[in-house]
Amino acid sequence: MTITIVGHGYVGLVTACVFADFGNKVWVVGHTKEKLARLKKGDPIIFEPGLKELLQKNIKARRIFFTDDYENSVSESEIVFIAVGTPTKETGEADLNAVIDVARKIGKNLKSKLTVVSCKSTVPVGTNKKIETVIKRHKPKSSEFAVASVPEFLREGTGIFDTLNPDRVIIGSDSKKAIELLIKLHQPINGKRIITNLASAEMIKYASNSMLATKISFANLISFYCEKTGANVVEVLDAVGLDNRIGRSFLYPGVGYGGSCLPKDVRAFLNTGKKLSINSKFLEAAEEINKTAMDSFVDVVANNSPGKKIGILGLSFKPNTDDVREAPSLYIISELLKQGFEIKTYDPVAMENVKKFFENKISFKKNPYEAVAKTDAVLVITEWNEFKQIDLAKIKKIMNQPFVFDGRNIYEPELMKKLGFKYFSIGRP
């Protein structure tokens, strides 16, 4: 099968490489010549474990191609995926300008045969109908198309595995032909098939991400209770998570959720609720608790650090990615800078992306030991494995004062006490 994917971010590029690896011919359409040139050479631009190897394998096999030309790619494709960003506007609603612009360009380049235009971008309910309207307005009269919604559920850091082994494959369309073609394309992929209409497919994505955000915020709420009462949040949530109706996944406290999905999707879902006159205080509370978690961590550091020199370990919003969109680290660093802290940082892959925000206001080090040397306190923001296995005795020796603020609960309190650290974690005595 020949397919086109418009967009080469975490979703678009991973999806393209996986489908190419199945033997399909895959066009990837982008708009920045510099990025396209890097992709053609096998540089994925983004960090995702295993992606570079998969990309280079399929370039060599001549199954994946990169272009800024819609005409050749769209005209020969049976399926065209839209996988561009939908960032949050100041109002909280999703910015659909890129999606609509892509729909217009796809429409202009459709040929006579049936083409399925499938949206992978996370979009509010009703957007695929707008895509359909835009394409109808711009397509040649002789061309035939159908619109579908196939939301993605991959996690950055495990994107290839998640694309190959999703819990479910959602295919939403009002066209029987489109559904049949998409089922055929996804045949090598695991996961239960859920066939819905367009609105349900759009809703499933927002409902899923809002539930995940809510679980994280609930875990943080429980951590607030534990800190006030002397309870241990890990013991509490371990027991709660053993209830099969609840589960342990995402039930972990910390410095808040971030990334390209949960924050913006919760806001967009809230905005949709306002437009539909739906009381969404439940989701408003989840978002408010998320900010409280970050503010609380900043307050603990500001009130307990013995000095103003701190080292921060971890900048990406989660391990195994260089993505810092909505990363808690950005907010925490900004707030601590306002309070006069001098900050050194280290992250295995995300430092270049953070430099764009802070430039020379903070310093970036080559390894975690350089980041914590001669500091008064160390802050753990991202739970990279590298930090879990760090030489804690060496850390203590090179610090000015042995204060550790663990925003991800990656160390055991008893061990830290035994080593002589003054240790602060989330929701634990």
CB atoms within 10 A of CB 100: 16
- Contact 42/59 with Cβ under 8 angstroms? yes
Alpha helices in 242-361 (DSSP H): 262-275, 281-304, 328-338, 351-358
- Contact 19/3 with Cβ under 8 angstroms? yes
Q: Is 253 annotated as a binding residue?
A: yes
Active site residue 261: yes
Q: Is 33 annotated as a binding residue?
A: no
Q: Is 50 annotated as a binding residue?
A: no
Q: Is 152 annotated as a binding residue?
A: no
Q: How many angstroms separate the CA atoms of 136 and 18, rounded?
A: 30
Q: Is 269 annotated as a binding residue?
A: no
Backbone angles phi, psi at 81, to 5 degrees: -100, 135
Strands 144-149 and 309-313: unpaired
Strands 168-173 and 25-29: unpaired
Q: Could you say which of 17, 119, 226, 261 is catalytic?
A: 261
Q: Is 154 annotated as a binding residue?
A: yes
Q: Is 421 annotated as a binding residue?
A: no
Q: Is 258 annotated as a binding residue?
A: yes
- Helix or strand run (H / E) with residue 193: strand 192-196
Backbone angles phi, psi at 204, to 5 degrees: -60, -40
Q: Is 335 annotated as a binding residue?
A: no
Placement of tokens 């474990």 in the chain: 49
Q: Is 326 annotated as a binding residue?
A: no
Sheet with 403-406, edge to edge strand ranges:
363-364, 342-346, 309-313, 377-380, 403-406, 422-424
Q: Is 86 annotated as a binding residue?
A: yes
Q: Is 325 annotated as a binding residue?
A: yes
Q: Is 156 annotated as a binding residue?
A: yes
- Contact 247/304 with Cβ under 8 angstroms? no
Q: Is 352 annotated as a binding residue?
A: no
Give the residue numbers marked as catalytic.
261
Report the binding-site residues for NAD(+).
35, 86, 122, 156, 264, 325
Report the binding-site residues for substrate.
153-156, 205, 250-254, 258, 318
Report the binding-site residues.
35, 86, 122, 153-156, 205, 250-254, 258, 264, 318, 325
